Structure 1
Amino acid sequence: MYTANDSVLLNFSTNTDGKPSLYVTNSYGSTLIQPTLTNNVLKYKIPKSFSSKKGILHWKLLDNKASLEGSIKIKSLEQVKNIETYIGPPSINAGKTDYSMIVVIPTDSLDNPIRKDEEVIIKHQFLNKKYLDVIKTDNLIAYKNIYSKDKDGRLLISSECKNTASKEFTVFVKPSIPKPFNIYSERTHNYADGNQITTLKTSIIKDSYNNIVSDGTYVTFYITDKNNNKLQTTGTTINGIATAKIINPDHEDSWNIKAYIDGITESNLITLKFEQVVKNIPYTITNNNRTITVGPIKSFMNQFIPDGLEVQLEIKKDNDIINIIEKTSFNGYVTFNLKEDIYKDDIYNLTIKTAGLSKNIKDLKLW
């Protein structure tokens, strides 16, 4: 047995002047070696590129008169020069069931893996505790599964073999699957003015081990109104709390709200009720019945409704809808002008719709 980087010389006695080639091969490649002939001895010097590699080196003398072949075992150097270390995955979940694997390949100065059953020390540190494990190489490598703890944080890992150490590696232990959580609402008032904002918030979302979920966890708030229409708004967590906003409805309504972290967990159900603020729809008709002014539209303190309330004018003739005009309020009023080139002199039925209310104007004659 040779040690890597030893000088390997194969000698063969001969009684002829022939110089057959020597074929050598290992796991890295193959080559032909030409001998030197001295005093009836053929000398074949194995190249360093072959003799420096750990493993089995096979040789065969290419001579038609004599068939000789064999193998040489080459072992690695005793001293460890480098440690190749691989770790993955780079992030795991808390809870003692998920793990990251460290794979260590100690090599000598010629990049040969060291011998079997060599001790490798695996060290890791988490929070304020340090851990040490001793494992042994087998089939060129040593490996160990490092399991997460109950808490989240950074797991620092390194390895050592024969006083040669690897660099430090980091594995992030993230919070586990979130537990069910609660949601709350914040609003200036409970009036359906179509203007103020309702804020929806979660409680601090944690996993089963009391770890706060990672910032940026996506939470969707699903809203079902009294007519079974679906709305939604979303937010992402900061310090475990997700916040989302949605504008109040413009008419009396009741919302059932529930939040989800999709495919993982859900919140409790809350119900929000909104009171009607627009009680009636005042209007005036002028300009040969071609100008319909809706207003003043007033809110819960008898003030003008905030700008932007949607008002719709539906125009019918002979029970057929011929047009729907939509506008938004400004200073409590909306004005609709029915142009002569579009609406000829005739009798029409109009319906004004806003804030969940409607008012019919029947048999309105335009001229």
Structure 2
Amino acid sequence: MKLKQAFFLLFIQLVTVSFLSQETITKETPISLLSTKTEYTVSDKITLEFKVTKDTIFQLYCSNSYGSTIIDPVVSNQKIKFKIPSFISQKRGLLSWSLINSSKNILSGNISITPKQQPTKIETYLGPPSIDAGGLDYTMLVVIPTDSLDNPIIDNSKVTVKHQFLKSERREPILTNKLIGYKNIYSPKKSGRMIISSESYGLNSKEFDVNIMPAIATNFKIFVHRNHEYADGNQITTFYTSIIKDKNNNIISDGSYIEFYITNKEGGILKTAATTINGVAHAKIIHPDFEDIWKIKAYFIGIAESNTITVKYKRVIDDYIVTFKENNRVINIGPLESFMGQIIPDGLSVKLSIYKKNVLIDELFKESSNGFANFYLDPNIYEKDIYQITIEAAGIKKEFKSFKLW
């Protein structure tokens, strides 16, 4: 009985060993990788070599950030070789490969391709090209040193950023990270032009310019200039500003638009405007043709404003003569004499208002010529009747309450 049990145990052990041996043979890999190098430099020739135990057709699937491809092998003496194409080996990054047979993945691995450390070109980007003075605004310089095959050089490579402004020259080192190097360059307090460039391993970029513009303008003052103070409707009054500057004492940019708002004693609003030259804006406006008081305030819209000044205009005409002819249908107003007794310049506005039974029926306007303004009341328009008329010139109003036309 004991002999039978011993024989049975021995049989079981033989079956188990035979099974394990068969499993090992089944799992034995028919191909193995001979190439051990996993790091290359761009432009290196990359070849993957495998040892095969069976005459089987294999292909190599390669993939990187630029695309994928399948490579056929070169077979010799139970070895197969795959030559990686140059359009893949010339690009830095991670190259993944898989050995396939009948679309089945047999082996796989990764190859790291690094760029050449000596750059042959520096791609440089700068923006914005204009920034405000004062130290708050900045422009960004982005630098990408690349090798002869247009690959960005390795991370943590040194790049020197150089910038010059007025009498100051500075050099600041930065390191590339994730393909690029960048630097925020803040504005100085003065306005002007800054020159910026970069250098990497002895290779220099081209020169870039950044305009340092004046910052937001501060409040300013306004002044007035005129030949005389009479309201003759002919002369020019000039309003002008002080030199408008920012908080850092920089003169604001030429062409800044300044608006002058004028409020007269009746509450009406006039407006004139001008652009700055060397920080000063000069705006002109014609004198009123009647006695008035103006209050003027200037605005750099949304940015700054001026003080308020008051300008008075004296009456230029104390009185004038009105004459009626040809059945009162011809009305002559004048002579209109100015402040020294001279004939007032042509163009003074004269208004004639016609009422009937206290209802306004018409308004006529004329401009003076040689010191006179003449109206004609056409009988086809104004029938024979009693009217009321009002004449206004240079702020002087004359009324005729029982005015007969015939």
Q: TM-score, normalised by structure 2?
A: 0.88
1:142-190 superposed Cα distances (whole Å, 9 cap, x missing partner): 1111111111111000000000010000001111111211111110000
Bigger proportion of residues as helix:
2
SS of aligned partner of 1:204: coil
Partners of 1:19 and 1:37 within 8 A in 2: no
For residue 383 of structure 2, what is the aligned residue in structure 1?
Answer: 344
1:267-286 superposed Cα distances (whole Å, 9 cap, x missing partner): 11111000011222321000
CA apart distance, 1:35: 1.8
For residue 239 of structure 2, what is the aligned residue in structure 1?
Answer: 200
Give the 5 Å matches for 1:125-274. Answer: 125-274=164-313
Question: How far apart, CA to CA, are the structure 1 residues paired with 2:79 and 2:350?
Answer: 110
Amino acid at match of 1:343: Y
1:75 and 2:118 matched: no
SS of aligned partner of 1:198: strand
Question: How far apart, CA to CA, are the structure 1 residues paired with 2:361 and 2:54?
Answer: 115
Choose from 321, 328, 352 the match for 1:289.
Answer: 328
Amino acid at match of 2:60: L
**Unaligned regions of 5+ residues in structure 2, if any?**
1-38
Partners of 1:351 and 1:359 within 8 A in 2: yes
For residue 3 of structure 1, what is the aligned residue in structure 2?
Answer: 41
Partners of 1:24 and 1:57 within 8 A in 2: yes
**Unaligned regions of 5+ residues in structure 1, if any?**
none
Question: How far apart, CA to CA, are the structure 2 residues paired with 1:343 and 1:106?
Answer: 90
Partners of 2:275 and 2:281 within 8 A in 1: yes
CA apart distance, 1:212: 1.1
Question: How far apart, CA to CA, are the structure 2 residues paired with 1:134 and 1:62?
Answer: 48
Q: Percent identity?
A: 52
SS of aligned partner of 1:301: coil
CA apart distance, 1:354: 1.9
For residue 79 of structure 2, what is the aligned residue in structure 1?
Answer: 41
Question: How far apart, CA to CA, are the structure 1 residues paired with 2:105 and 2:281?
Answer: 83
CA apart distance, 1:260: 1.1
For residue 150 of structure 2, what is the aligned residue in structure 1?
Answer: 111
1:75-101 superposed Cα distances (whole Å, 9 cap, x missing partner): 001211111111111111111221111
CA apart distance, 1:357: 2.1
More divergent stretch after superposition (310-319 vs 124-133): 310-319
Question: How far apart, CA to CA, are the structure 2 residues paired with 1:123 and 1:271?
Answer: 53
Question: How far apart, CA to CA, are the structure 2 residues paired with 1:347 and 1:283?
Answer: 18
Larger radius of gyration: 2
SS of aligned partner of 1:289: coil
Amino acid at match of 1:274: Y
Change beyond 3 A, Cα 1:326–1:66: closer
SS of aligned partner of 2:243: coil
Change beyond 3 A, Cα 1:24–1:66: closer
Partners of 2:217 and 2:246 within 8 A in 1: yes
Amino acid at match of 1:6: D
SS of aligned partner of 2:88: helix
* Count of aligned pairs between the two proteins: 367
Question: How far apart, CA to CA, are the structure 2 residues paired with 1:101 and 1:66?
Answer: 47
CA apart distance, 1:66: 5.4
Question: How far apart, CA to CA, are the structure 2 residues paired with 1:186 and 1:268?
Answer: 16
Structure 1: which 4+ aligned runs deviate by more than 6 Å? none
Partners of 2:134 and 2:215 within 8 A in 1: yes
Partners of 1:315 and 1:350 within 8 A in 2: yes
Partners of 2:131 and 2:212 within 8 A in 1: yes
SS of aligned partner of 1:206: coil
SS of aligned partner of 1:120: strand
Partners of 2:121 and 2:146 within 8 A in 1: yes
Partners of 2:98 and 2:105 within 8 A in 1: no
Amino acid at match of 1:23: Y
SS of aligned partner of 2:87: helix
Partners of 1:53 and 1:74 within 8 A in 2: yes
1:301 and 2:320 matched: no
Question: How far apart, CA to CA, are the structure 1 residues paired with 2:75 and 2:119?
Answer: 39
RMSD (CA atoms):
1.3
More divergent stretch after superposition (273-282 vs 102-111): 273-282
For residue 405 of structure 2, what is the aligned residue in structure 1?
Answer: 366
SS of aligned partner of 2:61: strand
SS of aligned partner of 2:96: strand
Question: How far apart, CA to CA, are the structure 1 residues paired with 2:262 and 2:373?
Answer: 30
For residue 95 of structure 1, what is the aligned residue in structure 2?
Answer: 134
1:207-257 superposed Cα distances (whole Å, 9 cap, x missing partner): 122211111111111111111111111111111111100111111111111
Partners of 2:40 and 2:113 within 8 A in 1: yes
Partners of 1:158 and 1:167 within 8 A in 2: yes
More divergent stretch after superposition (170-179 vs 20-29): 20-29
More divergent stretch after superposition (31-40 vs 334-343): 31-40
SS of aligned partner of 1:50: helix
Amino acid at match of 2:61: Y
SS of aligned partner of 1:243: strand
Amino acid at match of 2:140: M
More divergent stretch after superposition (184-193 vs 337-346): 337-346
Partners of 1:281 and 1:358 within 8 A in 2: no
Amino acid at match of 1:42: I
